[in-house]
Amino acid sequence: MASKFEELINYRREIGNFDKACTLINWDMETATPKMGTDTMVEMMGALSTKAFEMRTSEKMEQLIDAVLEPSEFEQLDQYMQKAVKEMKKNFEENKRIPVEFHTEYTMHMAKAQEVWRTAKRENNYEAFKPYLEKNISYTKQLYAYIKGEGKGNYDSMLDDYERGMDMATIDKLFDELKEELIPLVKAIVSKPQPDRSKFTRSLDVNKQKEFSRYLLEYIGFDFDRGVMAESEHPFTTNIDRNDVRLTNHYYENDFLNAAFSIIHEGGHGIYEQNVHGRFEHTPLSECSYMGLHESQSRMFENVLGRNINFWKPVMPKFYELFPEMSDVTVEELYREVNRVQNGLVRIDSDEVTYCFHIILRYELEREMFNGNVSVDDLPKHWADKMEEYLGIRPETDAEGVMQDTHWSGGMFGYFPSYLLGSIYDGMFLEKIEEELGNVDTILAEGRIKDITKWLNEKIHTYGRYREPKEVIQAVCGKELSVKPLIKYFKEKYTDIYGL
Amino acid sequence: MASKFEELINYRREIGNFDKACTLINWDMETATPKMGTDTMVEMMGALSTKAFEMRTSEKMEQLIDAVLEPSEFEQLDQYMQKAVKEMKKNFEENKRIPVEFHTEYTMHMAKAQEVWRTAKRENNYEAFKPYLEKNISYTKQLYAYIKGEGKGNYDSMLDDYERGMDMATIDKLFDELKEELIPLVKAIVSKPQPDRSKFTRSLDVNKQKEFSRYLLEYIGFDFDRGVMAESEHPFTTNIDRNDVRLTNHYYENDFLNAAFSIIHEGGHGIYEQNVHGRFEHTPLSECSYMGLHESQSRMFENVLGRNINFWKPVMPKFYELFPEMSDVTVEELYREVNRVQNGLVRIDSDEVTYCFHIILRYELEREMFNGNVSVDDLPKHWADKMEEYLGIRPETDAEGVMQDTHWSGGMFGYFPSYLLGSIYDGMFLEKIEEELGNVDTILAEGRIKDITKWLNEKIHTYGRYREPKEVIQAVCGKELSVKPLIKYFKEKYTDIYGL
C-alpha cells in the first residue's frame, strides 16, 4: 500500500500532467502556432489550467497534505521532503483563496494580452496595448490580494513571489548603492573612445548562427538528450521537467553576437533546470521559481564567463570554421566588442553594466505603478524621463521604450529586479569559485568551463528550490548579500578595458 | 438560455480542449521532444486522453445527446447538424463499450510503441520492435472487439473505421482488378530504358529545400496564416482545428525531389483540413476521418497534378532562383525523373504506379495477420515473398522492409488501403475536373492550379466528413466507384512517357 506521502506525490503528479500540458501550449504559442491558431490555444490553456487549478485547490488535495502533516507521518520524512510538504501547504493555502473563475479569466486574459502585445510592439501601437496593460495591472493586484488575503497584496508580495525574501526596502538599498557607484563609472567609460564595430555587423548566415548556438550550448554543458533549442521572437527557457528543458533563440543576419549571448544566457537557465536533483520531481522543490537565483545562473554564463576573453580562446577554432568570413577577427577584438559599454535604449541589447540601469528603471516604474504614482497613460513619459536621467537618452518609439519587453504583457510584475539581483549574487559566487577552483581566467582558457558548470551543479542547481535565495548565498558564500563584489568586478574589468 | 443543441456542442467543445492538447503532444513528440522527454509526454498524453475519454463516455454526454435526439429538438436541426448528432450517438455507443482503463493503457502503449519503433528502425532491430507489434495487434483486436460489441470486431471493422463503407470484399475486388491490369503494365515499363538520374542527386542546401517546400505549399493554396510546416522523420499532417493545420517534411541533401513531393502530398491533406466549413467546428463533421477520401486529396496534388509536366512549367523560375546549380535541368528532364517507374523497396520513395503494389502487399498482410494466417514472427518472410511476387525484389533489412512505415507502430491497422482507394477516387475526380473546368494540362500550364484547389474546396473539402466516401463519389462524379479511370490514366501516361 502506498504511504500517505506517496499518495500525495501521486496526486501532484496527476496535476502535473495538466500543468505540463499548459507549459507545452505556451511553448508552442511562442515557437509554432500559426497566427489564426492562437484563440484555440488560449482556450485550451484556459481549460487545462482550470482543471489543474481545481485539482490543486480541491478538498482531496487538502486532505492529502494534512494527512502528511500529521506528526506521525511528517517525522518520517527527511528535511527535503518536509520542506516540500510545507511548500505544498503554503501553495495550497494561497491558491485556495483564488476563485476558480478568476483564475481561468486571469490565465486566458494574460495569454491574450501577450498576443496583443506581440502585434502592438511590431506595429509600435501602444494605444492598442494600453487597455490590456491596464487590465494586467488590475488583474495582478487582484491576484495578489487573493493570494495574501484580501487587502494585503502589494508590490512587496510580487517581489517575494519572484524572489522569496525580497522586498522594496532591501532592493531599494541594494540598488541605491549600485547607482551611487555605477553612475560615475558609466560616465567615465562612455567618455572614452570606442573601438570600430564594423567587423561585427557583417552578414552571417542564420543557419550557421543556429549551428554556432548549438555548439555553444554543448560547450557550456547543456544536455541535448534532455533539451531542445527552437526559435522565437524573444529568447526564453521553459521546461516540461528536468529531462525536457526547452530554450529558444532569435537570429539577426547582421548581429551574430546577439544570438550567441542570448543562447549562452538561456543555456545558463537550462543547465540549472537540467541539474535539479531527480528525487525532487513532482514536488515544489523541482520548480526553480526563485528568479533572482535563476538569473544568477544565466547571467553567470552570459556575463561573468561569456564576456571573459578566456571563454573565447578555446571557442575560436569552431567560430572560424563556421564563419570563414570572420577569419580576420582576433579574439581580442571580439572581447572588446562584447564588452562595449554604450548607452542604449533596449535592455536585451545592452552591455553588462548599463543593463543595471535598465533594471533599476523598470523596478522603480513598477514600484510606482503599484503604489499608484504612475498611470498607464503616463508610463511612456516616465520611462523616457528615467532613461534620460540614467543613460542620457530618450526612446523615439514605444516599441523601443515601454513595450520592448514581454514581462508586463504576461502579468509578470516584480520579475525585473531578479536580473540585477542575479548579477549581485554572481559577484559573490565568482569570489567563491576562485577561492575553491582557482583562477577563472585559467580554467576558461584551458577549455575547462565544465568544471565551473559542475561546481554550480553541485553547489546550487541540485538543490532546486530547497533553499531560499538568502540561504543559498549564506550556504555557498558564507556571508550576507552585498553589492560590493559586483562593484569590484565591474571596476576592475572596465578599468582594464577602457583604461580608466 | 442555450438550446439543448448548444449545450451539447459546448460540452463537446470542452472535451475538444483535451483532445487538442493530445494532438499537440503528439505533434511535439514528432517534431520537438528531446529523447529523454518522451516518457513524460507519454504520461501526459495518457492523463489528458483519459480525461477526454471519461467526458466523452460520461452520463452527461449521453443525456445531452439523447436530449437532442428527442424529435422536438432533432427536427429543428438542419440536415448537417442532424447527421452530426447521429455521429455523436454512434461514437458514444462505440466508446462507451471501451473500458476507461483499457483506453488509457492502449493510448500510452501506442505512444510508447511508436517511440520503440523509431529506435528499432534506426538500428534495424526487428527483434526489439516485435513484442510491441505483437501487443499492438492484440490491443487493436481488443479495441475493435469492444467497439463493435464483444466478438464482432475484425479486420472489416478496421477498414470501415478508416474508410466508412469499405470492407474486404469490396477492396479485394478493386485491388484484384488493379493487379490484373498493372502487373503487365509495370513489366512493360521496366523493360524500357531509364533516363540518367545524375542531375537529381546533386547536393542541394537543405535550407533552400525548406524554402522551396514553403513556396510549393503556398503555390498550391495552403494558407500559412492558418498552418505551419515543421520537420520530422516521416512527413505527416495533423490539425488542432481548421485554423491550425500542421504539416511536416523531411530533407535529404542529395534528394530534393523527396522533400518536394512529400510536401505537395501533405499540402493536399492540409488544404482539405483548412477548407472544411467553419460551422462544422466542435462537431464530428469537422473531423475528416475518412482516410481514403483524405488520401485522394493528398495524392491528387502529389501525383495527378504534381507529376504533370505542366505543374512544373510555372514553378521553374522559382526553382532556378533557389537552386542556380540546377540551371541545366530542363522541365522535360524533371518531368521524366518524377515519373521514373522502378521496382523499389520503400513505399514512400516509390513511383505512382508501383506504389499500388506497396499498398496491396500491406493490405494483404494485414488481412492475413488479423485472420490469423500470418504471425509477427513470420511477417518479414511473408513481406519479402510478396515483394518478390509483385516487384521482383527482396528487402535486405527489416528497416527497409517490414519496419519502414510508422502505421503499425501506432496501431493503425486498416489504414494502408486508404492510399490506394484515394488514387482510385482521383482517377474519377480527374475525369470530372476536366469535364467541368476544362483541360487540366492547360490550367496547370497557365499557373492556375488554385482553380483546381478551389473546385476541390467546393466539391469535397467544405463538406468535411458530412458525406461518406461512396456518397462523395456519387455526388461529385454521378457514378459508382470504379478502377477504370485510374487504369486509363496510368496507361495513357506511361504509354506516352515510356513509349510502350
Eight-class DSSP state of A462:
G
* Model pLDDT, residue B411: 96
Chain A partners within 8 Å of B48 (Cβ): 17-18, 21, 48
| Interface residue A41 vs chain B (CB under 8 A) | yes
Instruction: Report yes or no: A218 at the B interface, CB cutoff 8 Å.
Output: no
Tell how many helices (H) and how many strands (E) occur in chain B: 22, 3
Q: What is the pLDDT of residue B1?
A: 60
Which B-chain residues 264-323 have CB contacts (< 8 A) with chain A? none
Contact between A457 and A242 (Cβ < 8 Å)? no
Distance from the A111 Cα atom to the nearest Cα atom in chain B, whole angstroms: 16
Sign of the dihedral defined by the CA atoms of residues A315, A321, A323, A325, in that order: positive
pLDDT single digits (tens) B257-307: 999 999 999 999 999 999 999 999 999 999 998 999 999 999 999 999 999
| Residue owning grid cell 509495370 | B186
Closest by CA to A16, choosing from B49, B106, B25, B47, is: B47
Helix residue spans in A97-167 (DSSP H): 100-122, 126-148, 155-162
Residue with cell 532491430: B125
Q: Which residues of chain B have pLDDT under 50?
A: none
Query: Partners of A244 in the beta sheet?
Result: A241
> What are the phi and psi torsion angles at A238 (to 5°)?
-145, 170
Collect all residues of chain B within an 8 Å Cβ-Cβ radius of residue A240: 37, 40-41
Q: Letter for the amino acid at A21?
A: A
* Structural domains of chain B, ranges and CATH numbers in brackets: 4-160 (no CATH), 168-498 (1.10.1370.30)
Which amino acid would we find at residue B385? D
For chain A, list residues with pLDDT below 70.
1
- Report the alpha-carbon distance of residue A448 to residue A219 in Å, rounded: 10
Q: In terms of DSSP bridges, do strands B244-249 and B227-231 run parallel, antiparallel, or are they unpaired?
A: parallel
Query: Which residues in chain B touch residue A241, judged by CB atoms under 8 angstroms apart?
Result: 37, 40
The Cα of A230 is separated from the nearest Cα of chain B by a number of Å equal to: 9
Query: Rounded to 5, what percent of chain B is helix, strand, coil?
Result: 70, 5, 30
State how far the Cα of A437 lies from the Cα of A452, in Å rounded to an integer: 8
Q: Which residue from B minimizes the CA distance to A247?
A: B32
Integer Cα distance of A69 and A64 in angstroms:
9
Helices (H) and strands (E) in chain A, counts: 22, 3
Look at B32 and A207 and tell me if their CB atoms are within 8 Å. Answer: no
The predicted structure's pLDDT at residue A104: 87
Strand ranges (E), A295-335: none
Are A48 and B18 inside 8 Å of each other by CB?
A: yes
Strand partners, A227: A245
Cell numbers at residue B375, please? 504471425
Say which residue the cell 492502449 belongs to: B106
State the cell numbers at B326: 540546377
Strands B244-249, B237-241: pairing kind: antiparallel
Q: Which secondary structure element, helix H or strand E, spans residue B286, and what is its range?
A: none
Q: Which of A294, A261, A333 is nearest to A422 (CA)?
A: A294
B343 neighbors B200 (Cβ within 8 angstroms) = no
Tell me the C-alpha distance between B259 and B233, whole Å. 12
> Residue B12 in 3-state DSSP?
helix
Contact B500/A at CB under 8 A: no
Alpha helices in A371-416 (DSSP H): 379-391
Three-state secondary structure call for residue A482: coil
Q: Please give the order of strands across the beta sheet that includes B237-241.
A: B227-231, B244-249, B237-241
Task: Classify residue B134 as exposed, middle or buried by CB count within 10 Å of its CB (0-12, 13-18, 19+).
Answer: middle
| DSSP string covering B342-409 | ---S-GGGS-TTTHHHHHHHHHHHHHHHHTTSS-TTTHHHHHHHHHHHHHS---SSSTTTTTS-STGG
The ipTM (two decimal places) reads 0.91
Residues of B annotated as catalytic (active site), given as ranges:
266
Q: What is the pLDDT of residue A55?
A: 95
**Nearest Cα residue to A19 out of A61, A52, A57:** A52
List all residues 6 or more positions away from A83 whose beta carbon is below 8 Å from its beta carbon: A285, A466
What angle separates helix B291-299 from helix B256-274, to the nearest 10 degrees? 130
User: Cβ contacts of residue A3 below 8 Å, gap of 6+?
Assistant: A73
CB B168 within 8 A of CB B175: no
| Residue B302 DSSP label | I
Query: What CA–CA distance (Å, rounded) separates A147 from B181?
Result: 74
Q: Residue A148 burial (CB < 10 Å; 0-12/13-18/19+)? A: middle
d(CA B241, CA B239): 5
Q: Is the dihedral of CA B254, B258, B261, B262 positive or negative?
A: negative
Minimum-distance CB partner of A243 among B36, B47, B245: B36
Q: Which residue is listed with cell 535598465? A: A358
Evaluate whether A456 touches A300 at the Cβ level (below 8 Å): yes
Q: List C-alpha distances in Å: A257 to A200, A266, A428, B6, B404.
A: 8, 14, 27, 55, 43
Nearest chain B alpha carbon to A37: B244
Q: How many CA atoms lie within 13 A of B210 on its CB side?
A: 12
Chain B residues within 8 A of A51 when measuring between CB atoms? 51
B70: helix, strand or coil: coil
Chain center to CA of A88: 23
CA distance B52 to A21: 14
Taking CB atoms and an 8 Å limit, are A48 and B21 in contact across chains? yes
Mean pLDDT score of chain B: 96
Answer whether B303's CB lies under 8 Å from B350's CB: no
Non-local (6+) Cβ contacts of A125 within 8 A are: A119, A398
The set of cell numbers assigned to B387 is 515483394
Nearest to A41 by CA among B188, B423, B440, B244: B244
Query: Which 3 state secondary structure label does DSSP give A150?
Result: coil
Full 3-state SS string of B214-279: HHHHHHHCCCHHHEEEEECCCCCEEEEECCEEEEEECCCCCCHHHHHHHHHHHHHHHHHHHCCCHH
Q: Does A471 touch chain B (CB under 8 A)?
A: no
